[in-house]
Amino acid sequence: MLHFISSASSFQVALCAFGFIFGAALLGFLVQGVIPAHHFSSESKDAAKLGAGLVATLAALILGLLISSTKGTFDQVNTLINEVATNYIHLDRVLSDYGMESAPIRAELRTALEVKLQEIWPEEFKDPLPASHETRSRFEQMEVEIAALKPSTAFQTRMQSLALQLEEDLLHERWMIDVVGEGGVPPLLLVIPVVWIAFLTFLYALFSPRNFTVITVLLCCSLSIAGAIFLIDEMAGPLDGSIKVSSAPLHLALDQLGK
């Protein structure tokens, strides 16, 4: 099961969680018909409510921590995207201030940004560039080209030094985006709260009357938990899936390059 969660999409994980939770509720209704009547005394119900309350508290805490953690990952990648966009524009302006000798490097910088955009958001481009895995070598080549510039004034020397620092910052931030964005959620952290909540729906169904209202409520609860699992799994991978960080900052940077 853990292997399935690791390789499945967020929708598949959420669907599996829904089936498990609501299936536990249906099992509770079935078991209700075979358990002797004396097991449904008020004392038994009170004991079940105490246990259910404890499990519900623990499940709520785990889900809250997971949502907070994955939202933090999503926000961190979004912040890195903004920083990368800013550094692209800054590096392009520094190279522009250096002089015409830096024009080929500025063209390379624009190409590198286009490749990164199409790598993360391919759905936004009708005619994508050929697949490229040389982002690192492209930046390393730009570093070599910037270092090879021959400044003739103190101002150009300062611009060259600043350009090299910005290029290093860009490469670091791009790797940070890839590493943080591919973090994911350990499968066991999703399985445990789902099992707890399935136990809760089983208990609720076991001690509730079998009618349309109760079944509908448990169905809606199961859908809600599945929706929370979907959001957690999606936000844990902010560079893929249906919930991605915005590409707007990089598009803005692309529009500004070369001006």
pLDDT digits (tens, 9 = 90+) for 197-246: 999 999 999 888 889 999 999 999 999 999 999 999 888 888 888 888 99
Residues above pLDDT 90, as percent of the chain: 47
What is the rounded radius of gyration, in angstroms, for the C-alpha atoms of the chain? 27
Measured between alpha carbons, how far is 54 from 63 in angstroms, rounded to an integer?
14
The reported pTM is 0.80
As a whole number of Å, the end-to-end CA separation of the chain is 53
Distance (Å, rounded) from C-alpha 47 to C-alpha 203?
11
CA-to-CA distance for 37 and 219, rounded, in angstroms?
A: 26
What percentage of the chain exceeds 70 in pLDDT? 92
The more confident residue out of 163 and 237 is 163
pLDDT (0 to 100) of residue 177: 87
Give the three-state DSSP class for 70. helix
**Selection from 3-7, 48-52, 58-62 with the highest mean pLDDT:** 58-62
Burial class (CB in 10 A: 0-12, 13-18, 19+), 76: middle
Residue 148: is its pLDDT beyond 80? yes
